[in-house]
Amino acid sequence: MALRREPTARQMRLAVELRRLRDAAGLATREAAALLGVSSAQISQIEMGIAGVSEKRLRRLAGNYSCTDEALVDALVAMATDRTRGWWEEYRGLLPTPFLDLAELEHHAVFLREVQFLYIPGPLQTEDYARAIYGDRIPELPAEDLELRVRHRMQRKVVFDGGEPTPYEVIIHEAALRIRVGDRATLRTQLSDLLARSEADHISVRVIPFDLEGFGGSWTPIMLAGGAVPRLDTAVGDAPHTTVLIDSEAQLSVLRTLLSRLQAASLDRVRSRDLLHRLAKEV
């Protein structure tokens, strides 16, 4: 099998998890290779994400590593045997790789939780709002590149609009609802669209109001994409120009706690919709 030149983030996550299992078992690369009957180079290639691994070999590796978490092994097998070529592949070579990795991550997520302080979350942005954000970039993007980014951002909505929509919980600070991205009409349309989407059963929009006392805030935009098992959760720093994927369990634990605290500090869904409605009328 030919080696991959550019593994996707999902393929790299599989590689990282297999390396973590080997490390937890206390085995060196050569020892793992001997147990599987392959060369050390093959184990290294699998753990770098540049070589795939069959279901049979993956299950043997898990057995050799004394991994008894069947749900985790099944999830890793699903990652290893996945042959999905999603809509994001049409942008390969046209947009930076992190754009594709983010769309792939959202496609496979079992849930999405997000917090934003200065912008409406990417998956909920209207076309004009997204165009205003990308258009404010320095240095200025060429028109073709800007439109590619806007189109990609609009297509990310597919995870909410399909037959089996992904549950999405988002916490937005009131600042993000008031900052006039683009012109007045752009913000008014964006708020109206956000209000309409917040009525969906699978989309929860909660607002942290300005007048909340005792709130210091983290001011760090975060998205948590749920994996098939909690160990495979991934946190995302989603900004207008790039994304950062976080899979360290220590960091994920901190971010889960932060999201829970922010949710507790926010208005409930009903009061959040009331505030959205009021702000949309004020613009």
Q: Which of 35-49, 160-174, 211-225, 254-268 has the lowest mean pLDDT?
A: 211-225
Residue 240: is its pLDDT beyond 60? no
Question: Which residue from 225, 233, 229, 227 is spatially nearest to 249, judged by alpha carbons?
Answer: 233
* Alpha-carbon gap, residue 52 to 79, rounded angstroms: 10
Residue 242: is its pLDDT beyond 70? no
What average pLDDT does this structure show over 34-52? 96
pLDDT score for 212: 82
pLDDT score for 137: 82
Confidence category of residue 5, pLDDT binned at 50, 70, 90: confident
Confidence category of residue 217, pLDDT binned at 50, 70, 90: low
Between 241 and 36, whose confidence is greater? 36
| Phi then psi dihedrals of residue 136, to 5 deg | -90, 5
* Alpha-carbon gap, residue 242 to 77, rounded angstroms: 29
In one letter, which amino acid is 83? R
What average pLDDT does this structure show over 1-21? 92
pLDDT score for 163: 82
The CATH architecture one would assign to domain 9-81 is Orthogonal Bundle (1.10)
pLDDT score for 165: 95
pLDDT score for 219: 72
* Alpha-carbon gap, residue 148 to 159, rounded angstroms: 19
* Alpha-carbon gap, residue 111 to 107, rounded angstroms: 10
Contact in structure between 65 and 57 (CB atoms under 8 Å)? no
Question: Which residue from 179, 62, 29 is spatially nearest to 119, judged by alpha carbons?
Answer: 179
Q: In terms of C-beta density within 10 A (0-12 exposed, 13-18 middle, 19 or more buried), how is residue 190 classed?
A: buried
In one letter, which amino acid is 86? G
Beta bridge partners of 244: 237
Taking only the tens place, the pLDDT of each residue in 116-169 is 999 999 999 999 999 999 998 878 999 999 999 999 999 999 999 878 999 999
Residue 238: is its pLDDT beyond 70? no
Q: Where are the domains positioned within the chain?
A: 9-81, 87-282
pLDDT score for 1: 59
Residue 208: is its pLDDT beyond 60? yes
Between 212 and 76, whose confidence is greater? 76
Computed over every residue of the chain, the mean pLDDT equals 93
Q: What is the CATH number of domain 87-282?
A: 3.30.870
* Alpha-carbon gap, residue 267 to 206, rounded angstroms: 6
Between 136 and 230, whose confidence is greater? 230
Confidence category of residue 239, pLDDT binned at 50, 70, 90: low
Which stretch of DSSP H or E encloses residue 245?
strand 243-246
Taking the alpha carbons at both ends of the chain, their separation in whole angstroms is 58
Locus of tokens 């922010």: 262
| Phi then psi dihedrals of residue 164, to 5 deg | -125, 75
Contact in structure between 51 and 45 (CB atoms under 8 Å)? yes
Residue 81: is its pLDDT beyond 80? yes
50 contacts: CB under 8 Å, gap ≥ 6 = 3, 4, 5, 7
Residue 2: is its pLDDT beyond 80? no
The single-letter DSSP state of residue 244 is E
What average pLDDT does this structure show over 260-283? 94
